[in-house]
Amino acid sequence: MTVAFRPRPSVVRRDSGLYAYERALARRGLTPIAGVDEAGRGACAGPLVVAAVVLRKPIDGLNDSKLLAPAVRERLYSLITATADVGVIVIPPAEIDARGLHKSNVSGMRRAVAQLTCDPGYILTDGFPVPGLPAPSLAVWKGDQVGACVAAGS
């Protein structure tokens, strides 16, 4: 009697560590992996800043920027910008007023990914789906707390 091999379904547990999504996608050849996040979304004034990041190597201490002390955040910023592929878009308040916050955010995410110097094999976005990205993507709830590349974008 022969038993057919059936691979296990892919499951990424939220408690599997910050690099779990990247490891699972890399095992399937979906590299490089970009993470996209924004800052300023909840502010009533000021710009919206969106960053897309492809990490070239693991970075110790990486986490959601809101959970980091300012000195740690600055150190990680220097490491990320020195070692990763980064695209940053700043959307001014006038554009947000004209288009709306969500449309500006989605557009900013697409534009930040377009600034990357590499072509991502997969894209993780923080919170909500972004149509029109140049690679397969997954919206990850609280992505900046469970995906390393999204945390780097935060």
User: For the range 58-66, what are the long-range contacts, defined as Cβ-Cβ under 8 Å and sequence gap of 24 or more?
Assistant: 58/19, 58/148, 59/83, 59/148, 59/152, 62/18, 62/148, 62/151, 62/152, 63/18, 63/145, 63/151, 64/142, 64/144, 64/145, 64/151, 64/154, 65/39, 65/144, 65/151, 65/154, 66/144, 66/154
Q: What is the pLDDT of residue 121?
A: 97
Indicate whether 12 belongs to any domain.
Answer: no
15 within a domain of the structure (yes/no): no
- Residue 3 maps to a domain: no
Model's pTM, two decimal places?
0.88
Tell me: pLDDT of 2 over 80: no
* Domain presence at residue 135: yes
Query: Is residue 91, in this structure, part of any structural domain at all?
Result: yes
Considering the domain boundaries, does residue 85 fall inside one?
Answer: yes
Q: Does residue 131 lie within any of the structural domains?
A: yes
- What is the domain-level CATH number for residue 61? 3.30.420.10
Residue 11: inside a domain: no
What are the tens digits of pLDDT across the range 95-124? 998 999 999 999 999 999 999 999 999 999
For the segment 10-28, what is each residue's pLDDT rounded down to a tens digit?
555 655 688 999 999 999 9
Q: How many separate domains does the chain show?
A: 1
Contact predicate 121/32, CB 8 Å: yes
- pLDDT of 125 higher than 90: yes
Range of the domain at 144: 22-153
